[in-house]
Amino acid sequence: MTSGDMVVASDLDRTLLYSPAALMLPVPDQDAPRLLCVEVYQGRPLSFLTETAAGHVAALNEAGKLVPVTTRTTAQFQRINLPGPPAKFALCANGGRLLRDGVEDLDFTAAVTRRLAETSGPLQEVSQWLQAAARAAGADGFLRSVRDAEGLFCYAVVERDAMPQGWVEELTGFARERAWGVSVQGRKVYVVPTALTKAAAAREVADMLGCSHLIAAGDSLLDQDLLEAADEAIRPAHGELADVGWTSEHVRVTSAVGVMAGEEIASWLAGRVLG
């Protein structure tokens, strides 16, 4: 297997990139690694990776081997300034939007729209369920807001500590009946059509690049299909997949957690593809 046959499809948040709340640094402050900020939101630094990880990410981008695959919307993804040249291909909205040199591929979008219409219940029903839950919770309740992600899926911003017991299970049952799934990531509860997968989108991009060997990284339940579809994969020792103890023979698990797991992932990815 040569590097020309390989491509990396990697999740971003809590896989390569970390918010201040997700750093999980286990060392005294004076021993913490130097961090590079790669995202600013409303004038404040939001996402980081270690400088060592940044070097590996830059090398992957310079080789044209990194395809970011994120649940973020296009606008949220475009706030990120990854090290190295911009990725030629990037997948946003859980594989629902393909950017080529930063521009949406409208043919790809149309194909996704048709597939979801044929296989999943309507977004409006799921959004209305969440909106009703928000009204029932009240202005000071656990459910802070409900947002639409490019007309493809929706997510709720919640206060995890105040979330009623059984609420996620109730939502999961409602979603399952409509061929949707639920993923809880930090303060966000994502509700996504089961037909909208990172795996299918990443394989399609790999084919576009003429790469037969897919290497993947991710931390959440929304990344599981991507890791399963990859020829080789890695996940951090934190996140939803770690919480449920999920792994597979071809999936490596980091020894570190938090931003140091991100460094371990970036190093492993670069080592596999670039040698």
Q: Mind listing the pLDDT tens digit for each residue in 188-204?
A: 999 999 999 999 999 99
> What local confidence, expressed as pLDDT, does residue 1 receive?
63
pLDDT digits (tens, 9 = 90+) for 156-185: 999 999 999 999 999 999 999 999 999 998
Report the distance separating Cα 229 and Cα 208, nearest Å: 17
Tens digits of per-residue pLDDT, 222-264? 999 999 999 999 999 999 999 999 999 999 999 999 999 999 9
Calpha distance 169→146 (Å, rounded): 18
Q: Give the tokens for residue 66.
A: 């990194």
pTM of the model: 0.93
Select from 134, 129, 16 the least CA-distant residue to 83: 16
- pLDDT at position 2 is 66
Strand order in the sheet with 6-10: 66-68, 6-10, 213-217, 232-235, 251-253
User: What is the side-by-side strand order in the sheet with 153-158?
Assistant: 143-149, 153-158, 188-193, 180-185
Model pLDDT, residue 141: 86
Q: Which two tokens stand for residue 183?
A: 């993923």
